[in-house]
Amino acid sequence: MELFGQARAYDVMAKLAELMKRSPRAYRSAARQQLVLLLAETRRPIDPILAGMNLKAIKAHKPAGIAWAAYLADLRLPWGQRRADEYIQAFEGKATFLELREKKRASMRRSRLKRANVVPSGSLN
């Protein structure tokens, strides 16, 4: 799927900042401003597809040498790595958000059963 809105604007400005070797200061400044706008949009309660699109743009321009989970924490986004990747998968059409939610429910059920030491045989494969 194609990026649009704040995600597209940030993607373009970040690419320009990377391409402009002579005077990157102005482009980097513009890219930072777009990132601020994108983060503000991403932090608001929005649908998971739009969140995935924004997170995909953010992840594409993550600085080298920093972990994705650490970058999310640095940006003060309300999700960890796993949830952010789930939103990106939903945006890319690899899974529906309902499938991801059901997978999480099943995982929590298994975890609770395991903690209670009532694990049915063969259910934790």
Tell me if 125 is assigned to some domain: no
Query: Quick check: is 18 in a domain?
Result: yes
Q: Do the domain assignments include residue 108? A: no
- Is the pLDDT at 69 greater than 90, yes or no? yes
CB 37 within 8 A of CB 1: no
For the chain, give the secondary structure using H, E and C.
Answer: CCCCHHHHHHHHHHHHHHHCCCCHHHHHHHHHHHHHHHHHHHHCCCCHHHHHHHHHHHHHCCCCCCCHHHHHHHCCCCCCHHHHHHHHHHHHCCCCHHHHHHHHHHHHHHHHHHHCCCCCCCCCC
User: What's the domain range around 65?
Assistant: 5-94
pLDDT-derived band at 55, boundaries 50, 70, 90: very high
Give the C-alpha separation, 124 to 110, whole Å: 7
Q: Does the residue 15 lie in any domain?
A: yes
- Within 13 Å, how many C-alpha atoms sit on residue 24's CB side? 10
Q: What pLDDT, in 10s, does the model give residues 16-31?
A: 777 766 566 766 777 7
In a domain, 104, yes or no: no
Number of domains in the chain: 1
Does the pTM surpass 0.85? The reply is no
| pLDDT surpasses 80 at 81 | yes
